[in-house]
């Protein structure tokens, strides 16, 4: 898996995440707000620079931000890892 996402831009990643969620849905995984339940057990976020973290900076103005670089983050699946 190392480096699998490193060549992806944010749009590619968003498309990929939609695909992953669709797969989960097809497999009958319980979902909440379009996100598989088990993702919430171990929350993880990914920013456009590829940083993965269990912690984010909550900003009223800018939304959820990466602690390392300040870019916007989106929730990712629990197995996602940096690199």
Residues 14-53: x where in contact with Zn ion by CB under 5 A, - otherwise, as a string: ---------------------------------x-x-x--
Q: Tell which one of 14, 55, 62, 69 touches Zn ion (CB under 5 A).
A: 69
Q: How many CA atoms lie within 13 A of 21 on its CB side?
A: 16
User: For 72, which DSSP code?
Assistant: B
Under the criterion CB under 5 A, does residue 56 sit at the interface with Zn ion?
no
- CB 76 → Zn ion: shortest distance, Å? 12
C-alpha 60/C-alpha 67 separation (Å) is 15
66, 50 Cβ separation under 8 angstroms: no
Residues of the shown chain interacting with Zn ion in the complex, contacts defined by CB under 5 A: 47, 49, 51, 66, 68-69, 71
């Amino acid at each position: 898996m190392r480096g699998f996402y490193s060549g992806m831009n944010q749009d590619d990643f968003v498309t990929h995440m939609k695909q992953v969620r669709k797969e989960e849905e097809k497999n009958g995984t319980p979902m909440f707000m379009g996100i598989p339940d088990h993702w919430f057990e171990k929350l993880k976020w990914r920013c456009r620079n590829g940083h993965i973290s269990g912690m984010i900076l909550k900003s009223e103005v800018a939304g959820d931000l990466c602690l390392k670089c300040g870019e916007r983050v989106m929730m990712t699946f629990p197995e996602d890892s940096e690199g």
